[in-house]
Structure 1
Amino acid sequence: MSLNVYYDVQLENVFDLFAYSLEKNRSVDPLESEFVVVQTEGMKKWLSLMLAQRFSVCSNIKFFTPNGIINHLAGRITGEQIKADKKKLAWVIYSALPLHFENRYFDEIKRYTAFDRSGVKQYQLSEKIADIFDQYQVYRPWMLQSWEKGEYVNQNGEKLPEDYWWQPILWQNLCKRDEINRSDVYLRMLNTTGAAGAKDENKHIFVFGISVLPPLYVKILENLGYRFEIEMFLQSPSREYFGTERFYKNADREELKEGVNSLVANLARTGSEFFDFLAEYIDYFSSDMKPKKEESLLQCIQNDIISLKPPGKIIDTHKTEDESIIVNSCHSPMREVQVLYDYLLRFFDEDSNLTPSDIVVMTPDIEEYAPYINAIFGSAAFNDVSIPYSISDKTLSGIYSSVQLFTSFLQISSGRLKFSDIFQFLEKEIVYTKFGLTPPDVEMLKSWCKSSVMKWGWDSDIAESFNLPYYEDFTVSKGIDRLLLGSAVLAYEWSSFDDIVPSVSVEGENFEILGRFVKYVYTVKRYRDILGKNYSAEEWLDILNNLQQDLFSGTADNDGLQVINNGIRAFGTYTAGIISEELPADVVAEFFKFYFKSVEKSGGYMEGGI
């Protein structure tokens, strides 16, 4: 068996160990890729840059995530590829749940979804259950194996309370599908020993910078050590042993020992448990790092972490008054970014050697802050100095406005077709260019529609569906009629016609602009009517493809349209052979919201700016 673990406090030292091993154990075949496992896209980018700096070039290295390397090797070890997909699992659960509603163990779920006519609650619940079952397959595969045998037990082998029996009953219904169950493949990989295949002496698998792995993955890597040379290069927060027994009095890990560093004990608990799990494989642990001279509050905290000693009372006043740690209280995310911008300008002014690439800014939710970052750092209207920056870890819905527009439009049938809804879409470049309009045209049309007293609704049916009084004079259709009549009569001959009074005079080239606008409004109305009904998954594919072709211009945001097309194809793949019932638009829209938010676009890492 060959699973070796190397720890060091400084990431640069961890890299040195990795680079030395990589150079020493390069494959003799120049065309064979080296396998390197990293946890994030950012670590992949950093490691690539460091390798290129060390060896003048970084080539023929194939990077994997922990999931990726396990799935890649599954076929080689067991002869069976992992096909399981959490998004497909969600649709299987959505389809299967109603079949169990007559079972008394599903009464709570039935009550939860009983009054949900749109089906959104059922789909959202299916997403949550799919996520839980997906985690069970990694963290509790033996429990699922017991469920498949009809034994309703928890991860400790204890009998489940009846309130939870719906989970094993549902899993028994799902587990026979290859695209759902990957835990069986994991367990077969775990049970496959060195006898199953010859030792590949020349093949190394390098694991770098992983902060935590599921215990099952560690066991699989240990087992793969019979066939491959596996080396893990990890960073430790401390030069001391930081296993859980260092911090906790008892095995339940609830009560801290006296004299421990509570900051590390609380924030690094997962890492501490991971360290316990890897302890028997550790071949190298560096403890050479010396504490820094305590010249600031930050250095005091760093030294306490490195030495794992409890924080002492800081007597020197300059250590509490320095600016190594600054806490600002701001009234909004926008103000937070403005304060950050001001601080950065000051830091650059005080330190001429400081560059934007030396700075990283972290947020709890980058999607929330991204619009404000672009407004402050990317707009000349807010600042006189341009600071280069890039935003990483953004999802597809956060990158492409057309993606957000697409998911919003799918929900238009649940609204009242307000004046603001019509222009919310038309103001976007990808829409107005499709209908041959320009931003000045859109502003002029907006003014015309206000003059025609266009408010909301198309006809009385919309008002009745919302139990609201119906006033025909303020509907969209009546406003369009007024505009069209204004284009048909001369300004000095205005008079009512069939109870319609023209609102504005449309002359010359504005005739064509009005015609394009009317075409747009009727397109919106047509798809609003279409999206108000239920369809099969196959019919939805045609509707979605036609919708994006009829409403969106390919020249304005080609990348965004490609993302939308990929999402539509994914919808077809996930629902094929699973969904037989008709789906409402709200459920389809919920799928796309989840899909576009769950897929991250790589990029934005180490591009020379903040």
Structure 2
Amino acid sequence: MALYTYPSNKLEYLVKIFSRLLKFNKKEVFDPIYILVGSRGMQHWLSMELAKQNSICMNTKFDMINSFIVNTCYEITNDQSHKKAYSKEVLSWRIFKLLDNIGADKLKNYYKDSSQRKYQLSSQIANVFSKYMKYRPAWLEKWQNLQFISNSPSDDEIWQAKLWQLLTNENSKTPTQIQKQALKKLNSEALPKNIYIFGVSTISPNNLEFLLEIAKHTRVHLLYLNPCSEYWYDLKKAKIASWLNIEEDFTIQPLLASFGQQGKDFFSQLLEQDQQEFTSFENFCEDVKITPSKNNSLLTSIQRNILELNTEKYTINIDKSIIINSCHSPLREVQVLHDNLLELFEQDSAIQPQDILVMCPNIEDYAPYIESVFTKTSSDSVNRLPCSIADRTIIDSESLAASFIEILKLPDSNFEITKIIDYLSVPALQRKFDITFDQLETIKYWLTEACIHRGLNNQTFSWNWGLKRLLLGFCLDDEPMIIEDSFLTLPNIQTNEIQELGKLYELIELLQLFSEELKQKRTACDWQDFLLKVLDTLFNIDDSDEYITNIIKQNIAKIVQQTNQADFTELIELAVIRSILTTALSEPIVNNHFLRGKVTFCSMTPMRSIPFKVVAMLGLNSTTYPRKDTKISFDLTNYFPTQKGDRTKRDDDKYLFLETIISARSVLYLSFQGNSYKNNSEQEPSLIIKEFLNYLESYYSWNNLKKYPLHPFSPKCYTRGYQSYDDKWLSLIKAEKKSFNSQKNANIELPSKFSIQEIINIFDDPFKSYSQYTLGLTLEENEPGLSDTEPFEIDGLQIYRIKESLLCCYENCKDIDLTIKHLTLCGKLPQSPLTNELLHQNLNLVKNFYDKINCLNLQDLTLETNIQNIKIYSSIKLSSDNTLVLYKISNLKPKDKLQLYLECILYSHVYSKQITGEYFYINDKKEIDSFKIAWFEVESIEDELSHYLTQALNFLKEPSFAYINLLEPVLQKNNNKILEILYKSHRPLTKNIYYKLLNGNNFDIENINKYYTVAFKATVSNV
């Protein structure tokens, strides 16, 4: 028996060798094939490849190396009772139980009375001990034998040694002890006849030692990737080589030297062992090293040079086998990737979606953008590529899991309204309470009107307070009523809607009940019963949720199993249970959406270097890749020299990048965020990308890094080399070379009548008017929505509405004290003495303003005329001295001045006589003021009115940035040539801002006016 090794630079070759080994090593029909892999993704790929080559793949028993060794040891020793005692999860509970007994004041000061902190610390200690068991077993043996690692042990070593001694006193059969016992009892009968290890890139020294011992009794076949067929395990980086005075002719392959440290350590360990090696490297050039021909791709040349340890420099035709792009954001990275993939499909019909793998440092950072870019909508004309997103966590991808964890936070929450709405948005909860989408929208409206923000008690803004207002409003009257001088009802609910209110009441009561019950300590078994009750009470699980629900239930059951295995019988607080479940549900779902016949997106996972025609890596930024280890302060490996076989995330990611290079068959696609999306400042790519770019430039004179613009509608995105396949932005690009025109809107059907107020509204907001009149689209106003925070101050708009309410009360002879009481109790104003003070201050101001207007003896008058076959009308007020009067209980704006001017023009046109206009308002000093327009000559009253109407109609055909606010200087000078200035400023201003937007300058008009997005882009689409 022996260890057989099969190195190759291509995983496909290893599969062929594996298939031949299976045929050669014939077995009994029912004997399983033992296959050890480094990741579940590799297991899935290997299963499919074996099925392709052998027409079937069955009776295979896949396992991870460490798990296989543990199971084998316990089977050989025939001792299963202590199998889980030193697993991370069980060890965490055992440490949690013993932590108070080790006399470490530093630890006690950290967790104090917090069970959650204590458990999280126990879990971290368990992780460190698991690391010791795998990489430093000799340390643990010394501690078990009452010895220390060093002559002068640190405080951290002292308490860790004591804790380990307590653990071994409870159970002396540590994994190391079990492994030693198993090695003594090893024989061929206790082992499979063949053990296959496939596609791993590293094995810990402890595990490798055990496998070598197994190899003395059975055949162990190690099939692994080796990027180079030459001896390269003593390569140094160029900089290190110069420090060591290595001769110039010493072969230094930059990529192997920079990224291959993990592989070098692993292969060096193998060389030290007794083994039989069967190499199967690809020979690109039939044993003759020649300069690559023009037909060879750049990627192939790099792979060959790595394979042959070649350091020669070449000049070859640059192709698209290597693509490196710089973008501004994750969204742009995904958009640019989609365009590049469409281009690849166009150029090579042999490439299919299943031939593409896209890796990200953290898939959750990219998942929303992937779904938005790759998911086809009903109005989408672009051919979207089918994709699947693997490695997503349940808590981030499934609303049911996320809401379940949020419910476990109820005792610490204040029942914020947005969280309750989040619960109501979960489909499983909606089914349980029979709430539809429309009903949820109605509930949101009620809660907004009821001014519910947070809290459960009867105080203002709480749930009990707000729901009581709604219920009493339904029961008592159709008008708001004041109850007991301190409560204002809300008659917002119709008879046919009362059931929805009842469902909301039921949910709040259940959440309140669970909030109290969650505060109780329970045993693990009692927690299981209670949590399953919560799931069953709040959620209606259908087929789509069954898989997720089963995972939640399994993780709850694991807590019971682990506490039983740890002999932990104490009562457990909610914070500990919540922490365990949150961590468990934050783990990637195994084998979820990986290799589903679509473009596969996944996280960067070591030992998952599966060959694809196209391999892409996104997010290769200096801050995210290579990933950094989170060092734990009490991890003693940080304070001792590293040993061969030690792993770090940095080395893992570097070697993953090297394996990615040799795993891409046609195209290697790399992307990073090279510029800030905020200010366009340059950002550093990953050090790995910088080294790879330097290599490409030095050895191949490659300098084809593409920097994409911030916006997908930039003209650059539709030029050669940057081609976008998204035609929805193409109309903007065409519009750059054409002037804006309104031919398609020239014949739109406009209203047959306009009021003066409607004309003023058009000038006040051309975008909004264009959207409403021309496009027939009205967007929701930005009214205050659901908020977790009650009002603490009164803004200008609220003050204006208060004054309007008070003025309306005076004008309609209503009870002013009752109005003030309504304003105080409505919930829209802060509950503060300052509110009452502000109300009474404005009451005096409004009273004086009303008296001023009332003494004018105003009379209503309706004006009506026809201009350009369009009816123009208005309702005005005339004072006793025949002055046209307008008034408002706030400061004057330019549109108000224009309105007064047009009202006077209309009156003069209807009655063919002059009139003076006066607009009463409240100035900045909170004083009553007025703006007057005395009559001035115009050439033609009808032409003047016609000019304004014409410009208003033009705005409905083509929106403009020429707001009426631009014209105030003109009005201040009594200049009646306002139309001419509007016309002159209209097109240049629009075009100027258009170019600013097109070139990616910081001009955020959409935050100023939300109708811009609809109106402006609709106009451009007509070009």
Q: TM-score range by the shorter chain?
A: 0.7 to 0.9
What is the alpha-carbon distance in structure 1 between the residues aligned to residue 425 and residue 25 of structure 2? 58
What is the alpha-carbon distance in structure 2 between the residues aligned to residue 131 and residue 358 of structure 1? 37
User: Does the 8 Å CA contact 1:490/1:505 hold for their aligned counterparts?
Assistant: no
User: Does the 8 Å CA contact 1:86/1:180 hold for their aligned counterparts?
Assistant: no
Residues 45-74 of structure 1 deviation map (CA, whole Å, 9 limit, x = unaligned): 222222222222112222222123213322
* Aligned counterpart for 1:560 among listed residues 548, 562, 566: 548
* Aligned counterpart for 2:563 among listed residues 575, 580, 592: 575
Shift of 1:118: 4.2
> Partner of 1:345 in structure 2?
342
Residues 1:153 and 1:371: Cα distance change in structure 2 (over 3 Å) = same
What is the letter of the counterpart of residue 55 of structure 1? N
* Aligned counterpart for 1:474 among listed residues 461, 469, 483: 461
> Partner of 1:503 in structure 2?
490
Residues 1:599 and 1:300: Cα distance change in structure 2 (over 3 Å) = closer
The equivalences for 1:153-232 within 5 A come to: 153=149, 160-177=153-170, 181-189=174-182, 191-192=183-184, 196-198=186-188, 203-232=193-222
> Partner of 2:277 in structure 1?
283
Residues 311-350 of structure 1 deviation map (CA, whole Å, 9 limit, x = unaligned): 74x666x54xx54333333343333222222222222223
Shift of 1:587: 2.3
* Aligned counterpart for 2:121 among listed residues 125, 145, 148: 125
What is the alpha-carbon distance in structure 1 between the residues aligned to residue 173 and residue 259 of structure 2? 34
Residues 1:296 and 1:38: Cα distance change in structure 2 (over 3 Å) = same
User: Does the 8 Å CA contact 1:452/1:504 hold for their aligned counterparts?
Assistant: no
What is the alpha-carbon distance in structure 2 between the residues aligned to residue 51 and residue 579 of structure 1? 45
What is the alpha-carbon distance in structure 1 between the residues aligned to residue 347 and residue 133 of structure 2? 53
> Partner of 1:467 in structure 2?
none
User: Does the 8 Å CA contact 1:396/1:601 hold for their aligned counterparts?
Assistant: no
Shift of 1:7: 1.0
The equivalences for 1:30-429 within 5 A come to: 30-81=29-80, 82-83=83-84, 84-100=86-102, 103=103, 106-114=104-112, 118-153=114-149, 160-177=153-170, 181-189=174-182, 191-192=183-184, 196-198=186-188, 203-243=193-233, 245-247=234-236, 259-279=251-271, 280=273, 281-287=275-281, 289-290=283-284, 293=293, 297-310=298-311, 312=313, 319=318, 322-380=319-377, 383=380, 384-429=382-427
What is the alpha-carbon distance in structure 1 between the residues aligned to residue 389 and residue 341 of structure 2? 16
Residues 257-280 of structure 1 deviation map (CA, whole Å, 9 limit, x = unaligned): 664224323322111111111123
* Aligned counterpart for 2:528 among listed residues 517, 541, 558: 541
What is the letter of the counterpart of residue 433 of structure 1? R
> Partner of 1:592 in structure 2?
581
What is the alpha-carbon distance in structure 1 between the residues aligned to residue 114 and residue 422 of structure 2? 24
User: Does the 8 Å CA contact 2:391/2:588 hold for their aligned counterparts?
Assistant: no
What is the letter of the counterpart of residue 176 of structure 2? S
What is the letter of the counterpart of residue 567 of structure 1? N
What is the alpha-carbon distance in structure 1 between the residues aligned to residue 172 and residue 200 of structure 2? 28
What is the letter of the counterpart of residue 572 of structure 2? L
The equivalences for 1:481-500 within 5 A come to: 481-492=468-479, 494-496=481-483, 499-500=486-487
What is the letter of the counterpart of residue 345 of structure 2? F
Partner of 1:600: helix, strand, or coil? coil
Q: More deviation in 536-545 or 37-46?
A: 536-545
> Partner of 2:433 in structure 1?
435
> Partner of 1:2 in structure 2?
2
Shift of 1:387: 1.5
Shift of 1:160: 3.7
Report percent identity of matched pairs.
27
What is the alpha-carbon distance in structure 1 between the residues aligned to residue 482 and residue 169 of structure 2? 72
What is the alpha-carbon distance in structure 2 between the residues aligned to residue 26 and residue 488 of structure 1? 82
Shift of 1:536: 4.0
Shift of 1:16: 1.8
User: Does the 8 Å CA contact 2:477/2:491 hold for their aligned counterparts?
Assistant: no
Partner of 2:252: helix, strand, or coil? coil
> Partner of 2:597 in structure 1?
608
Shift of 1:176: 4.2
Residues 1:432 and 1:282: Cα distance change in structure 2 (over 3 Å) = same
The normalised TM-score by structure 2 is 0.53
User: Does the 8 Å CA contact 1:395/1:601 hold for their aligned counterparts?
Assistant: no
User: Does the 8 Å CA contact 2:19/2:54 hold for their aligned counterparts?
Assistant: no
Shift of 1:450: 0.5
User: Does the 8 Å CA contact 1:242/1:275 hold for their aligned counterparts?
Assistant: no
> Partner of 2:659 in structure 1?
none
Shift of 1:296: 5.0
What is the alpha-carbon distance in structure 1 between the residues aligned to residue 191 and residue 438 of structure 2? 69
Residues 1:177 and 1:342: Cα distance change in structure 2 (over 3 Å) = farther
What is the alpha-carbon distance in structure 2 between the residues aligned to residue 497 and residue 180 of structure 1? 73
What is the letter of the counterpart of residue 203 of structure 2? L
List alignment gaps of at least 5 residues for structure 2: 286-291, 600-1023
> Partner of 2:818 in structure 1?
none
User: Does the 8 Å CA contact 1:394/1:600 hold for their aligned counterparts?
Assistant: yes
What is the alpha-carbon distance in structure 2 between the residues aligned to residue 563 and residue 180 of structure 1? 31
Residues 1:15 and 1:593: Cα distance change in structure 2 (over 3 Å) = same
Residues 1:111 and 1:265: Cα distance change in structure 2 (over 3 Å) = farther
What is the letter of the counterpart of residue 299 of structure 2? L
Q: More deviation in 585-594 or 174-183?
A: 174-183
Residues 1:400 and 1:57: Cα distance change in structure 2 (over 3 Å) = same
Q: More deviation in 342-351 or 440-449?
A: 342-351
1:519 aligns with 2:506: yes
How big is the alpha-carbon RMSD for the aligned residues of Structure 1 and Structure 2? 2.9
What is the alpha-carbon distance in structure 1 between the residues aligned to residue 33 and residue 595 of structure 2? 23
What is the letter of the counterpart of residue 97 of structure 2? S
Shift of 1:367: 2.8
User: Does the 8 Å CA contact 1:174/1:180 hold for their aligned counterparts?
Assistant: no
